[in-house]
Amino acid sequence: MSSRKRPLGRHLQLRLDEARIDRGWQSIEARLPKPRARRSMRPLVLALALLSVICVAVIWMRPPSSPAAVIEGAVLASSATEHETIELVDGSRLVLDPSTRLRLVHVSARQVRLMLEEGALDAYVTHADTRPFTILAGSIEVSVIGTRFRVALEQEDVSVSVDEGRVALRSLEGESVPATLSAGESWSSAAPTSLEAEDLVPPLEPNEPHPDQGRERPRRIGSRTLPPRFHTLYAAGRYDEAYASVEPARFQRSLKVGTARDLFALASAARLSGHGRDAARAFDALRRRHRDDARAGLAALELGRLRLYELDDPAGAAEAFEDAIALQPEAFFREDAEARRVQALQAAGQLEACAKARDEYLQRFPNGLHAAVVAKRCR
């Protein structure tokens, strides 16, 4: 017999029936630590599902008038050199000019009410009938009818201009303001809305003889060049009638000798009643004859807008925008005037001057409201 060892596995066969396998597993499990009992997840899943349904039902059935204000009384301020962009809970966007202060009086899903305390802002608002959106600047309340507009407060003067849609105006102190402004229109409180001291005949000094002594002399009431009826109608916001009350000869005389106040009122009445060419004549006379007046720069800006968008005179518009900047280089409308000047130069085909104006705008306002559009012009 050979002495070589052979593997026993070749010859030994174990009998592994079901009973023997079960006993082996039982022996192994007995030596393992026993796990904690696991509860069924089914009741928990059902409870969470039921809770979700209840929450959705409560939210759906909640009256729409119940949302609480999200922001109350916060004050936002931009730096002296940068614009600030604000996104409100309703999706509206506000772009604050440098050195602007804005108080969020009430901001919620139900109502937005803001107060401009200083500076200027551009608003992009999606109007909803169920969510009033108002901005208070000085004593003037601007309510959104829709959609893109600008509000500025400079000392005590309020200016509003509309790029798209309409806004409604209301004075909290009884001043006469336009009921609404539509796209392409603007208004400034610097325009006359009532008779002022310089428009009245000064009283005689005591014991001073009247030059027409001995006969009755009618006192003049109103401005020096415009009829009293014009001021009454203009103050009431009846611009069509106010414009119609000035006969052509008196209109022409006003262009030559009218005060800055008269010319601004005359131009505004003409523009708001749809007489763009006469409005441009009056704005032009104001900025040329009264260059030291606070309204001169705004008059040049309005002249540029009229020439560019209504009178098909882009070259003349570019000149007016440039003059607006020269008259008031630090005015709230500086960025707007520079951007529109670029647009006017492009429309006039003056591409070299356009490119220079474009680069000047982008250097001064690299993050400006119109920067993206201006950067694409003059190509």
Whole-prediction pTM: 0.49
Residue 245 makes CB contacts below 8 A (sequence gap 6+) with 227, 229, 230, 233
Q: Which domain holds residue 293?
A: 225-374
Number of structural domains found in the chain? 2
Q: Quick: pLDDT tens for 324-339.
A: 999 999 887 888 899 9
Q: Are residues 280 and 348 in the same domain?
A: yes
Complete DSSP assignment for 142-153:
EEEEEEEEEEEE
Q: Are residues 232 and 344 in the same domain?
A: yes
Q: Could you tell me if residue 146 is inside a domain?
A: yes
Q: What pLDDT does residue 287 have? A: 96
Q: Are residues 255 and 351 in the same domain?
A: yes
Other CB atoms within 10 Å distance of the CB of residue 310:
16
Q: What pLDDT does residue 209 have? A: 45
Chosen domain end from 161, 188, 215: 188
Between strands 133-137 and 101-107, the pairing is unpaired
Q: Are residues 239 and 359 in the same domain?
A: yes
CATH of the domain at 127: 2.60.120.1440
Q: How far is CA 329 from CA 133, 295, 298, 321, in A?
A: 31, 13, 11, 11
Q: Could you tell me if residue 63 is inside a domain?
A: no
Helix axis angle for 248-257 and 276-289, nearest 10°, is 20
Q: Are residues 153 and 289 in the same domain?
A: no
Chosen domain end from 169, 188, 207: 188
Q: Are residues 167 and 247 in the same domain?
A: no
Nearest CA to 165 among 145, 150, 195? 145
Q: Could you tell me if residue 126 is inside a domain?
A: yes
Q: Could you tell me if residue 48 is inside a domain?
A: no
Between strands 112-125 and 133-137, the pairing is parallel
Q: Which two tokens stand for residue 294?
A: 């606070």
Residue pair 279/267 in contact (Cβ under 8 Å)? The answer is yes
Q: What pLDDT does residue 17 have? A: 52
Q: Quick: pLDDT tens for 81-121.
A: 777 888 776 677 888 888 888 888 887 777 888 888 888 88
Q: Are residues 230 and 295 in the same domain?
A: yes
Q: What pLDDT does residue 199 have? A: 36
Q: What pLDDT does residue 340 have? A: 93
CATH of the domain at 312: 1.25.40.10
Nearest CA to 317 among 276, 355, 275, 270? 276
Residue pair 116/134 in contact (Cβ under 8 Å)? The answer is no
CA distance 325 to 86: 27
Q: What pLDDT does residue 222 have? A: 39
Q: Are residues 287 and 169 in the same domain?
A: no
Q: Which residues of the chain have pLDDT under 50?
A: 1-16, 50, 53-70, 192-223
